[in-house]
Structure 1
Amino acid sequence: MRETCVPTGVALKDTGFGYTLSLISGKYKMIIIYWLAENKVMRHNELKRSIGSISFKTLSIMLKEMEADGLILRKEFPQVPPKVEYSLSERGLSLLPLLSMMCKWGENNWPDSEAAQR
Structure 2
Amino acid sequence: MLIELQRSLHQSWCQTFGPSSVETDAPLRGLLEVAGERWAFRRHGAGVEFKRQGDEVAVDIHDRFDDPDVFDIWRLELFLESKAIVVRGRALEQSLMDSGRCLLSGQHYTLT
Indicate the TM-score class for this superposition, using the shorter chain for normalisation.
Answer: under 0.3
Q: Flag the structure with larger Rg.
A: 1
TM-score, scaled relative to structure 1:
0.26
Greater share of residues in strand: 2
Greater share of residues in helix: 1
